[in-house]
Structure 1
């Protein structure tokens, strides 16, 4: 059974009302899930104050603080469970034990501080039971063991198997034990750390941190009205934010999730209907931009670049440190409150170069930090801020000055650096001949597309393998990257990836000829994904399925562009839609819709064997591997149906009369079997050609749609046409579309040109992509 971990902070448990709100959330959880709790409200601060009084031998202060603790906790327990409850009695015993140890000078700091979490876990578990939810509380000192400042992960994983699968497990945060059972604490923000550790130990699918904020924002929403709450951020950027002092996320909390698929979610217990922010694996989220204010910072220059010493100092300070590499020197940014400790730790190996400065850190996508730094410097100089330092490194930039940034200045920076157009995530399915050309053209077209909408390639799909990266795939090396790093994937995994993409817009570009892949289109629509397709199957699917897909796309305001499904790069679909949008009415469409059949028709004569011509076309790559797929006319039939539905006609594929360019006897077996009976094919074509010649005509494979008849005429097959007819004068391989309408009644509108080929088809897909970007940017 999939387990999840939920952590509730002190603000979420600060009063009886908040306990009730948390209990309502917990009622929606599944048995076997774990709930990690902090001390209620300001309990930990009060316990720290108690320890300070005890340590300073302030006996009066000890008594006063114990009285405060007793009043607050007794009020909580009484309101939730009553003063006759088992929990109330346990609490009185704990208070008496604290008083006794304090009076005997036997109080231990860690043992004392552990009580806040113990009281929260015990109270919440019993309150849940009162609400009819089975719950048990666990003391995490029996789950987490620390030896020489290192967690014993293997042993702890085994200990955590004690959690129950038929109840909710309420676990204390912040505390652990050493090898002999003494209490140890996990440092600042230890309860969040406890939650992610527990998530790792029980192999949870997610860890949710319930707090008083709705998620992770682009900057402090209390200071910047237009701060953006992000639905997802990557673990990499979350770690960077934590190292720079972001108050929502902490570096230690994120450590257990490194290289795991466990999602970390930040949500508000004050607004449980809000989705919050997910912290996910790096490839599952695009890079975002953030502004984090820095207040009262000291800057040291280290004479030796020693990563181990920085790591050790971080542990001592219980605070992540962000080194900067500047022109061969290592700078270390630390909160000024730790300045003396840093100087004492490094002695002569560290020089203080800036003291008590403030400013802002910009976290961004890699490659943009230098430009963002320059833009920020220019803006801050306009605000008359004197900069004491400005540096950038991969993924972030830092600017420091003499004063804190006011909200107005932070808002201006946010408007200038953070607010941007929504991006379009592109997934390309089918990277064979046409797909390969499309990707090479995309590399050239990107600058033009980005003037409309930022475009990022995030997925490449081929048969049962894929290369997926929510942060983006480098176009210049996309093909080699796919070859070296593509993994086996299922349709379900593809759908899940598309569902999880956190882009303003997303599109699947289907350059496959796969019917099974086209059946995924409704799933794409359910997850707000536009479609561009050269694939004909979806447009010619069973009518109810097709109409339901169209209805779903309309309801969700999604666009489906499929110009290359008929005529490769020729703008036939666009022309039909444009005529209708202009008020015209199409009455007839006819023409040669297959480049292969166009080539065969133009090159055939009675002095040739038709089967030899087909074999020649196959060897030249003009036909499918089995030419009968072309000769059957089924492809042309599908193209005519797509155009008919473009006119709003409710036709099924079988409503279009179909005559193949071969006798029925050749349909069975393989192409080699058919070649063994090639004389049947030659005789079949020769007889039809002779009949046409007697009337002064020539054979062409023609599609015809006439909306003026009743019922509507729709047919595909060989037709004897006059040598002067437009369909008879085609360049071999070209397509031609002859359109009659109210406006083009006597003089048809003709669209003619190459109807096949890698370059023109890929170019047609690019035309659709440009159109989509233009629409989305409006």
Structure 2
């Protein structure tokens, strides 16, 4: 088959259409049908309203070519054509589609790289131009790289010798011309933009020729088109280019006429160069940013193609940046407006200008992964319908919010003053000044009172903008009509984009509730009347948390919480086992998704890896033992915050006062806290009040049911009584499962030390049994309950009758204490027990909160065997509440197991689920 490659010198080849001259196909021109009319204004299933195409829109040329006959445009980026193997795969893909009866129009970029370290063609051309302009002779080395890359690729692809010879002849001629041009630049020590554009555009020429020749070598008909012979563009004010469609269409019609493409139709594949074009004066230029993608949509619009597929190296457009949101999903569809919004805010989507040509004719643009062709990709369409059920249903449906994007490192500038109210032209003066300072405004927010205007600029523009505004309003500031121009630095912008949210109530409320629940403060808000975009400004340090919070609200289960566990002892281990057993049911039946992301002990910690959503609860103990990561509570906390879920909870199953000191920080950072650790609530009164105040005034939750009755509903009972208006008079009870077990188990002839050791082995005691026997543990519970009913007691205010022999109170460790305890069997304790037994009574170790007297105490008391306290057995706890309502008819009694890992872990688990319920999970 004849080659489409000219053998004349490169300069001539660049000016001549590949369809003219000796290699032009003598094909007959087909008659032309009327093109499909541009979309007219309409609203169908909540689709985007499209304005009629203006006069300059793509329109059929005068040659009579039918452009509405099933063309599909396929654009391949540099990575897709980065090697001979990849180019061959692209050619196979186009051939397969052509054989299926589709008219194929390909657009290609310059060769990229398939492996690190390989030369990238466009980079080589840019480097050569820069070096030559700087009189650096090393530019010649870049040409050597280009020659080697294209020769080896051509040798692998072009199995027909005539095709190879023709390709290399044209390539060598052009490379020789480039060398001469670069030498001239080097002599002059300068370059022009036109020269640079001409040089850099050769990469696309070489790839397009190569692809067409490779297809012919595979036995299928193909031609290549130099886009500079078709596209006429002019510079635009925004730094891009505008297409002269009338002249461009005429040029394309001429090429179609000259080659007779209409006769063979789908029998030939056309390959065009991306990125390059010409000015109206015929000077080679480029399409600037995203130029190859822009080429594809321009040609798609001129052909009125059925579809434009852009092949890249990602599966499509994601709901959020996967590097920041682990569970970002690839979107099936986007509307043009949604794509614009996401692109503006930095998402990896087409440049807004790129979509315009396709939008004029409602042509779908499909972004697909060349390296994962099984993935369907993301289709950018005229509109994305929404089900009626969603409109009438949940405002947190994922179809309402298509994507989230962020702009990091911005500064919020505020111009405020009473002298601005009702004064025409103030806003114009503000933004004209910012424009003249060459600062780009990325967000604007103004109250209807006109009292202030705030807007965001990039941080590197902030000082320039502030200086310009301060100078512009110098007199107004001096007169007090305008306050000093202020700036809030270190901010980020979060954009929540979704065309379908504009007619659904509650979407904005869900966004702000998600942010509030994660303790993210919103500094400024902007939303247009179209409601396609809700934009908020937050502290830069909170942007990742904000992104995950909002994404999780719309894309994950109803309630997703990451869990950090402190204290992997017996209770902690039991809790994780209970969680593992319930994870599936919680997620399926209640839409609660618990993800344990970290476990930390005294000396080391285990955290999830970068690609892990949660720890494996089947193997966490082995993984924890094998971990060599030292404890770093700051890093542990940050890991929980950065774990990707919209809600976080840290569970403290330790008995550490140091760990309890972190609760305030955690709550202030939006982390919910659940704990059976009594140190915080029985510690300094001011600290306890701070914790309660933060939890009460914010959106975080602090639950500690396990601090008093293990799994018994003691704290919740007290709160219910108080909140319902009842007045608690006295709380009396056996608060220690350990001491309950000891007193209920002890019998004549038993050794006290043996009973204590047995209680320790059963997991009833604190890690150090002296916390139980000393009465300190009970005293802490008394203090906690006293504070819950409004008494301002400190631990030192509670007198305690200790059961620890005085000689052992300062033992070095719990082990040392237990080892020495048998030496102290007997004594006063045995006497008291014997006296109670002889009287037919039971000796019990009780805590008392006397609200009316304003006191608390821990002491030994005797009760009749028929009394609820006397009839207690095992390790049960029992509490009696005497209140205004529960007095004459008998006290309110709560009784049940008060010790043991299972019930304590169960109580903690219950608090975790209470957090989930408060965050929105169904009850």
TM-score (norm 1): 0.50
Q: 1:769 to 1:392 in 2, by over 3 A?
A: farther
Contact 1:423/1:504 (8 A) holds in 2: yes
Deviation of 1:724 (Å) = 1.5
Tell whether 2:444 aligns with 1:444: no
Please name the residue that 1:97 is paired with. Answer: none
The 5 Å alignment of 1:556-635 reads: 556-624=698-766, 626-635=768-777
Q: Deviations over 1:417-446 (max 9, x none)?
A: 763356322212222222222222212323
User: Which residues of 2 match residues 274-353 of structure 1 at below 5 A?
Assistant: none
Cα gap change, 1:109/1:674 in structure 2, threshold over 3 Å: closer, same or farther?
A: closer
527 and 622 in structure 1: CA distance in 2 versus 1, 3 angstrom threshold: closer
Matches within 5 A, 1:412-423: 414-415=399-400, 419-420=554-555, 421=558, 423=560
Distance 1:109 1:526, change over 3 A: same
Superposition pairs of residues 69-84 of structure 1, within 5 angstroms: none
Assess, with a 3 A threshold, how the Cα gap between structure 1 residues 183 and 776 changes in structure 2: closer, same or farther.
Answer: farther
Residue 459 of structure 1 is matched in structure 2 by: 598
**Contact 2:730/2:882, CA 8 A, preserved across alignment:** yes
Alpha-carbon contact 1:662-1:685 (below 8 Å) kept: no
Aligned residues of 1:658 and 1:717 also touching (Cα < 8 A)? yes
Does 2:550 correspond to 1:406? no
Structure 1 pair 605–454 and aligned structure 2 pair: CA distance change class (3 A): closer
Please say if 1:769 is aligned against 2:721: no
Provide the residue aligned with 1:473 in structure 2.
Answer: 614
Q: Could you tell me how far apart the structure 1 residues matched to 2:626 and 2:715 are? A: 38
Q: Is this contact kept in 1: 2:733–2:878, CA < 8 A?
A: yes
> How far 1:517 sits from its partner (Å)?
0.9
1:167-566 aligned at under 5 Å gives the runs 356-357=308-309, 361-363=316-318, 397-399=375-377, 404-409=380-385, 414-415=399-400, 419-420=554-555, 421=558, 423-450=560-587, 451-469=590-608, 472-477=613-618, 479=620, 480-485=622-627, 487-501=629-643, 503-566=645-708
Name the structure 1 match of 2:878. Answer: 736
- Of 698, 721, 724, 2:842 maps to 698
CA RMSD of aligned residues (A): 4.9
Structure 1, 469-478 or 686-695: larger mean CA deviation: 469-478
Q: 2: distance between equivalents of 1:625 and 1:735? A: 19
CA contact (8 A) 1:369 1:394 kept: no
C-alpha distance in structure 2 between counterparts of 1:604 and 1:674, whole Å: 17
**Take 1:675 and 1:367, find their aligned partners in 2: how far apart are those partners?**
51
State the alpha-carbon separation in 2 of the partners of residues 442 and 589 from structure 1.
33
Aligned-partner Cα distance in 2 for 1:183–1:624: 80
2:342 maps to none
CA displacement, residues 136-159 of structure 1 (integer Å, 9 cap, x when unaligned): xxx9999xx999879xxxxxxxxx
* Displacement after TM superposition at 1:635 (Å): 0.9
- Checking the alignment, whether the CA contact within 8 Å between 1:449 and 1:773 is kept in structure 2 is no
* CA distance in structure 1 between the aligned counterparts of 2:143 and 2:654, rounded to whole angstroms: 57
Q: 1:555 to 1:482 in 2, by over 3 A?
A: same
Counterparts of 1:628 and 1:485 in 2: how far apart (Å)?
32
Q: CA 1:772–1:752 in structure 2 vs 1: closer, same or farther (change >3 Å)?
A: same
Asked if structure 2 preserves the Cα contact closer than 8 Å seen for 1:531 and 1:560, the reply is yes
Shift of the 576–406 alpha-carbon distance from structure 1 to 2, 3 Å rule, reads same
Residue in 2 that maps onto 1:256: none
CA deviation string 1:5-60 (max 9, x = no partner): xxxxxxxxxxxxxxxxxxxxxxxxxxxxxxxxxxxxxxxxxxxxxxx99x989xxx
C-alpha distance 385-663 of structure 1, shift in aligned 2 (>3 A): same
Contact 2:316 2:331 in 1 (8 A): no
Secondary structure of 1:426's counterpart equals: strand
Larger radius of gyration: 2
Report the CA distance between 1:467 and its aligned residue: 2.5
> Whole-Å Cα distance in 1 between the matches of residues 884 and 370 of structure 2?
64
Measured in 2, the distance between the counterparts of 1:565 and 1:641 equals 11
Q: Does 1:718 align with 2:703?
A: no
From 828, 832, 842, the equivalent of 1:684 is 828
Any residues of structure 2 matched to 1:628-647 within 5 Å, and which?
Answer: 628-647=770-789
> 1:589: Cα distance to partner?
1.0
Aligned-pair CA distance for 1:516: 1.1
- CA distance 1:586–1:148, change in 2 (3 Å): farther
After TM superposition, give the deviation of residue 481 of structure 1 in Å: 3.8
Residues 394 and 517 (structure 1 numbering): CA distance in 2 closer, same or farther, change over 3 Å? farther
Q: Is contact 1:498–1:524 with CA below 8 Å preserved after alignment? A: no
Instruction: Determine the C-alpha separation between the residues in 2 that align with 1:526 and 1:626.
Output: 31
- Say which SS state the counterpart of residue 692 (structure 2) adopts: helix
User: Within 5 Å, which residues of 2 pair with 1:743-758?
Assistant: 743-746=885-888, 747-758=890-901
* CA distance, structure 1, for counterparts of residue 604 and residue 567 of structure 2: 10
CA offsets 1:543-602 (integer angstroms, 9 cap, x no match)? 122222333333433210011111111111111111222221211111111111111101
The normalised TM-score by structure 2 is: 0.43
Per-residue CA distance 1:120-141 (angstroms, 9 max, x = gap) = xxxxxxxxxxxxxxxxxxx999
Distance in 2 of aligned mates of 1:512 and 1:400:
48
Change (3 A) 1:460 1:662: closer
Q: Secondary structure at the match of 2:316?
A: strand
Give yes or no for contact 1:540–1:638 (8 Å, CA) kept in 2.
yes
8 Å CA contact 2:368–2:376 kept in 1: the answer is yes
Hey, what's the Cα distance between the residues in 2 that align with 1:753 and 1:695? 27
Question: For residues 749 and 394 of structure 1, what CA distance do their matches in structure 2 show?
Answer: 66
Secondary structure of residue in 1 paired with 2:826 = helix
Cα contact 2:310–2:367 (8 A) shared by 1: no
Is 2:732–2:849's contact at 8 Å kept on the other side of the alignment? yes
Counterpart contact for 2:800–2:858, Cα < 8 Å: yes
CA deviations on 1:78-126 (whole Å, 9 max, x unpaired) are: xxxxxxxxxxxxxxxxxxxxxxxxxxxxxx97489759x99xxxxxxxx
The alignment of Structure 1 onto Structure 2 pairs a total of residues equal to 455
Matched position secondary structure for 1:363: coil
Cα displacement (A) at 1:660? 0.9
| Distance in 1 (alpha carbons) for counterparts of 2:652 and 2:616 | 18
Partners of 1:147 and 1:732 in 2: how far apart? 88
1:727 lines up with 2:712 in the alignment: no
Q: CA deviation at 1:680?
A: 4.2
Q: 1:466 to 1:616 in 2, by over 3 A?
A: closer
**Contact in 1 for aligned 2:763/2:900 (Cα 8 Å):** no
Q: From the superposition, tell whether residues 487 and 716 of structure 1 become closer, same or farther in structure 2 (CA, over 3 Å).
A: same
For 2:818 and 2:671, the matched residues in 1 are separated by 43
Report if the CA contact (8 A) 1:369-1:395 is conserved.
no
Tell me: CA distance 1:514–1:400, structure 2 relative to 1, closer, same or farther (3 Å). Answer: closer
Quick check: 1:722–1:728 contact (8 Å CA) kept in 2?
yes
Q: Which runs of 5+ in 2 are unaligned?
A: 1-10, 17-123, 147-185, 192-272, 276-291, 298-305, 336-361, 391-397, 404-553
Query: 2:445 maps to what in 1?
Result: none
TM-aligned CA distance change 1:423 to 1:613, over 3 Å: closer
How far off is 1:498 after superposition?
Answer: 4.2
